[in-house]
């Protein structure tokens, strides 16, 4: 089954539970200290675009984004975007805002280390896009060049320029891999992405495979 990880909000499919079960518990990526305060992201712009993450019971509660030219903000409950409780540390959350077009929200769950990416269009006619298999550089084993994002499915590693939308991809394996996204290092030992190259060391049935491809972003 070929699951896609870029999905409109109306049809978000969280990774199947069978691929997320693990007998091993991944080492926490960051401190899971209670998230008490909202996280706020803004840029200098005449219409003051912003992205907020509100907190409740020590976890992210709502995602809100808008700008001054919109009559109403866009808002979603956080638990509609992730398949399990997520613990955030502000050091492992970032947001790139492209004027009043869209924002890229990037974060990792501290408990499992799982990476997430969300593209948040300000225009209400456009759907949010949700990636639940991000390879974010909050993880010290993943080095992603400034301005780029990286994510994967069961066959490819994808890279995208947040500013231009230009993309590149690297084939990992001819057959779909079995990947536990909540214990990512059982498959992805390391990833290194620049604007000129994608490199990765992955584990397939316990055997290391080195991958690389020249790109231009």
| pLDDT (tens digit per residue) in 183-213 | 999 999 999 999 999 999 999 988 999 999 9
| pLDDT (tens digit per residue) in 48-106 | 999 999 999 888 999 999 999 998 999 999 999 998 888 998 889 999 999 999 999 99
Residue 23 reports pLDDT greater than 70: no
pLDDT at 25: 53
Which residues are bridge partners to 210 per DSSP? 201
How would residue 24 be classed by pLDDT, with cut points 50, 70 and 90? low
Whole-model pTM: value is 0.85
Q: How far apart are CA 114 and CA 186, in angstroms?
A: 12
| pLDDT (tens digit per residue) in 158-186 | 999 999 999 999 999 999 999 999 999 99
**Least confident window among 5-14, 43-52, 87-96:** 5-14
Residue 17 reports pLDDT greater than 70: no
């Amino acid at each position: 089954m070929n699951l896609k990880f870029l999905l409109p909000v109306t049809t978000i499919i969280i990774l199947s539970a069978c691929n997320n079960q693990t007998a091993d518990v991944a080492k926490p990526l960051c401190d899971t200290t209670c998230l008490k305060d909202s996280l706020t992201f803004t840029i200098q712009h005449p219409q003051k675009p912003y992205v907020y993450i509100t907190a409740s019971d020590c976890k992210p509660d709502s995602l809100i984004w808008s700008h001054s030219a919109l009559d109403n903000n866009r808002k979603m409950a956080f638990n509609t975007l992730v398949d399990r409780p997520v613990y955030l540390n502000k050091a492992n959350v970032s947001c790139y805002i492209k004027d009043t077009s869209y924002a890229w929200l990037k974060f990792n769950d501290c408990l499992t280390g799982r990476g997430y990416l969300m593209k948040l269009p300000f225009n209400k006619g456009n759907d949010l896009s949700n990636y639940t298999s991000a390879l974010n550089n909050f993880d010290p084993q993943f080095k992603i060049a400034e301005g780029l994002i990286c994510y994967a499915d069961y066959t490819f590693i994808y890279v995208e320029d947040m500013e231009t939308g230009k993309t590149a991809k690297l084939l990992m394996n001819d057959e779909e891999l079995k990947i536990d996204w909540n214990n990512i290092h059982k498959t992805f030992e390391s990833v290194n992405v620049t604007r000129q190259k994608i490199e990765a060391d992955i584990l397939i049935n316990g055997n290391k495979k080195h991958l690389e491809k020249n790109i231009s972003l």
